[in-house]
Amino acid sequence: MNYAYNFRLYPNENQRVLLEKHFGCDKCYEKISNQRKNFLQELSTRIIRENQTIIVEDLDIESMLKNKKLSKSISSCSWSEFIRMIIYKASWYGRNFKKVNRFFPSSKLCNHCRFVNHSLTLADRFWTCPNCFNILDRDFNASINIKTEGISGLACGESSGFMKQEFVTG
Ligand SMILES: [Zn+2]
Protein backbone atom coordinates (compact mmCIF):
# COMPACT_ATOMS: atom_id res chain seq x y z
CA MET A 1 0.00 0.00 0.00
CA ASN A 2 3.00 2.28 0.54
CA TYR A 3 3.31 2.55 -3.22
CA ALA A 4 -0.07 4.25 -3.35
CA TYR A 5 1.20 7.13 -1.27
CA ASN A 6 4.33 7.70 -3.31
CA PHE A 7 3.05 8.64 -6.72
CA ARG A 8 3.00 12.18 -8.04
CA LEU A 9 -0.01 14.43 -8.22
CA TYR A 10 0.31 14.63 -11.97
CA PRO A 11 1.62 11.25 -13.19
CA ASN A 12 3.03 10.99 -16.68
CA GLU A 13 1.76 8.38 -19.15
CA ASN A 14 4.05 5.57 -17.90
CA GLN A 15 3.29 6.28 -14.27
CA ARG A 16 -0.40 6.35 -15.10
CA VAL A 17 -0.22 2.87 -16.63
CA LEU A 18 1.63 1.57 -13.56
CA LEU A 19 -0.89 3.14 -11.24
CA GLU A 20 -3.84 1.68 -13.12
CA LYS A 21 -2.18 -1.72 -12.90
CA HIS A 22 -1.53 -1.28 -9.20
CA PHE A 23 -4.97 -0.02 -8.26
CA GLY A 24 -6.90 -2.18 -10.66
CA CYS A 25 -8.86 0.77 -12.08
CA ASP A 26 -8.12 4.29 -13.23
CA LYS A 27 -10.56 5.99 -10.86
CA CYS A 28 -9.05 4.70 -7.60
CA TYR A 29 -5.80 6.60 -7.79
CA GLU A 30 -7.57 9.65 -9.17
CA LYS A 31 -9.58 9.74 -5.99
CA ILE A 32 -6.46 9.71 -3.81
CA SER A 33 -4.79 12.23 -6.09
CA ASN A 34 -7.78 14.58 -5.78
CA GLN A 35 -7.86 14.17 -2.01
CA ARG A 36 -4.20 15.14 -1.91
CA LYS A 37 -4.77 18.17 -4.15
CA ASN A 38 -7.66 19.29 -1.94
CA PHE A 39 -5.51 18.93 1.14
CA LEU A 40 -2.74 21.06 -0.42
CA GLN A 41 -5.29 23.67 -1.54
CA GLU A 42 -6.81 23.94 1.93
CA LEU A 43 -3.46 24.03 3.70
CA SER A 44 -1.98 26.65 1.36
CA THR A 45 -5.09 28.85 1.68
CA ARG A 46 -4.94 28.60 5.47
CA ILE A 47 -1.24 29.49 5.59
CA ILE A 48 -1.80 32.49 3.31
CA ARG A 49 -4.84 33.73 5.25
CA GLU A 50 -3.12 33.48 8.63
CA ASN A 51 0.23 35.05 7.70
CA GLN A 52 1.37 38.33 6.17
CA THR A 53 4.77 36.97 5.21
CA ILE A 54 5.63 33.46 4.08
CA ILE A 55 9.28 32.43 4.00
CA VAL A 56 10.34 29.12 2.49
CA GLU A 57 13.60 27.40 1.82
CA ASP A 58 14.45 27.12 -1.86
CA LEU A 59 15.07 23.37 -1.85
CA ASP A 60 16.89 21.71 -4.71
CA ILE A 61 14.08 19.24 -5.38
CA GLU A 62 15.66 17.75 -8.53
CA SER A 63 18.80 16.63 -6.69
CA MET A 64 16.86 15.59 -3.63
CA LEU A 65 14.66 13.31 -5.72
CA LYS A 66 17.82 11.56 -6.90
CA ASN A 67 18.63 10.71 -3.28
CA LYS A 68 16.63 7.53 -2.61
CA LYS A 69 16.37 8.16 1.12
CA LEU A 70 14.85 11.58 0.54
CA SER A 71 12.85 11.05 -2.62
CA LYS A 72 10.13 9.01 -0.94
CA SER A 73 9.12 11.75 1.47
CA ILE A 74 9.55 14.59 -1.02
CA SER A 75 7.56 13.27 -3.93
CA SER A 76 4.81 12.00 -1.66
CA CYS A 77 4.20 15.44 -0.24
CA SER A 78 4.30 17.21 -3.65
CA TRP A 79 6.45 20.06 -2.43
CA SER A 80 6.80 21.88 -5.75
CA GLU A 81 3.07 21.87 -6.31
CA PHE A 82 2.49 23.13 -2.79
CA ILE A 83 4.94 26.02 -3.27
CA ARG A 84 3.30 26.89 -6.60
CA MET A 85 -0.05 27.23 -4.77
CA ILE A 86 1.52 29.35 -2.02
CA ILE A 87 3.08 31.70 -4.59
CA TYR A 88 -0.05 32.43 -6.58
CA LYS A 89 -2.21 32.75 -3.48
CA ALA A 90 0.34 35.12 -1.90
CA SER A 91 -0.06 37.39 -4.91
CA TRP A 92 -3.90 37.15 -4.76
CA TYR A 93 -4.02 38.06 -1.08
CA GLY A 94 -1.22 40.66 -1.15
CA ARG A 95 1.15 38.69 1.06
CA ASN A 96 4.93 38.81 1.11
CA PHE A 97 6.56 35.70 -0.25
CA LYS A 98 10.28 35.08 0.24
CA LYS A 99 12.63 32.27 -0.62
CA VAL A 100 15.78 31.64 1.36
CA ASN A 101 18.64 30.48 -0.84
CA ARG A 102 19.28 26.72 -0.84
CA PHE A 103 22.90 27.27 0.26
CA PHE A 104 21.81 28.83 3.54
CA PRO A 105 22.84 26.27 6.22
CA SER A 106 19.40 26.22 7.91
CA SER A 107 19.82 22.82 9.60
CA LYS A 108 23.47 23.14 10.54
CA LEU A 109 23.19 26.58 12.12
CA CYS A 110 22.43 26.83 15.85
CA ASN A 111 19.59 29.34 16.25
CA HIS A 112 20.89 30.40 19.68
CA CYS A 113 24.57 31.17 19.05
CA ARG A 114 24.91 30.92 15.23
CA PHE A 115 27.48 28.12 15.46
CA VAL A 116 27.60 26.10 12.21
CA ASN A 117 27.78 22.35 12.83
CA HIS A 118 29.46 20.94 9.70
CA SER A 119 29.41 17.38 11.06
CA LEU A 120 25.60 17.19 11.14
CA THR A 121 24.21 14.30 9.06
CA LEU A 122 20.73 13.63 7.69
CA ALA A 123 20.22 10.97 10.36
CA ASP A 124 20.64 13.50 13.19
CA ARG A 125 17.12 14.55 14.11
CA PHE A 126 18.33 16.11 17.38
CA TRP A 127 21.75 17.51 18.12
CA THR A 128 23.52 19.34 20.91
CA CYS A 129 25.28 22.54 19.93
CA PRO A 130 28.99 22.10 20.81
CA ASN A 131 29.24 25.83 21.43
CA CYS A 132 26.23 26.73 23.61
CA PHE A 133 25.09 23.18 24.57
CA ASN A 134 21.46 23.76 23.64
CA ILE A 135 19.63 20.64 22.46
CA LEU A 136 18.16 21.31 19.02
CA ASP A 137 15.35 19.63 17.09
CA ARG A 138 16.68 19.58 13.52
CA ASP A 139 13.50 20.76 11.77
CA PHE A 140 12.39 23.23 14.42
CA ASN A 141 15.89 24.74 14.54
CA ALA A 142 15.95 25.01 10.72
CA SER A 143 12.53 26.70 10.67
CA ILE A 144 13.67 29.34 13.19
CA ASN A 145 16.79 30.00 11.10
CA ILE A 146 14.76 30.35 7.90
CA LYS A 147 12.37 32.75 9.64
CA THR A 148 15.24 34.83 11.07
CA GLU A 149 17.04 34.93 7.73
CA GLY A 150 13.84 35.77 5.85
CA ILE A 151 12.82 38.57 8.21
CA SER A 152 16.30 40.10 8.22
CA GLY A 153 16.18 40.00 4.43
CA LEU A 154 12.83 41.81 4.45
CA ALA A 155 14.07 44.45 6.86
CA CYS A 156 17.32 45.35 5.12
CA GLY A 157 17.21 44.07 1.57
CA GLU A 158 19.47 41.26 0.45
CA SER A 159 21.38 41.19 3.74
CA SER A 160 23.62 38.17 3.97
CA GLY A 161 23.44 36.90 0.43
CA PHE A 162 21.20 33.98 1.35
CA MET A 163 17.93 35.66 0.48
CA LYS A 164 16.40 35.25 -2.91
CA GLN A 165 13.51 37.62 -3.35
CA GLU A 166 10.50 36.31 -5.24
CA PHE A 167 8.19 39.22 -4.72
CA VAL A 168 7.02 41.56 -2.01
CA THR A 169 3.54 43.00 -2.30
CA GLY A 170 1.41 45.42 -0.32
ZN1 LIG B 1 24.66 27.10 19.85
Burial of 41 (0-12, 13-18, 19+ CB in 10 A): middle
- CA 133 to ligand 1 centroid distance, Å: 6
- CA 97 to ligand 1 centroid distance, Å: 28
- CA 125 to ligand 1 centroid distance, Å: 16
Give pLDDT, residue 160.
47
Give pLDDT, residue 157.
56
- CA 62 to ligand 1 centroid distance, Å: 31
Nearest-angstrom CA–CA distance, 139 and 144:
9
- CA 47 to ligand 1 centroid distance, Å: 30
Using an 8 Å Cβ cutoff, are 106 and 140 in contact? no
Give pLDDT, residue 4.
43
Mean pLDDT, each 10-residue run in order, the chain (170 residues): 51 76 72 86 95 88 71 68 92 92 92 95 93 96 94 65 52
Burial of 59 (0-12, 13-18, 19+ CB in 10 A): middle
Nearest-angstrom CA–CA distance, 140 and 130:
18
- CA 95 to ligand 1 centroid distance, Å: 32
- CA 102 to ligand 1 centroid distance, Å: 21
> Which pTM was predicted?
0.70
By the CB criterion, residues less than 5 angstroms from ion ligand 1 are 110, 112-113, 115, 129, 131-132
- CA 135 to ligand 1 centroid distance, Å: 9
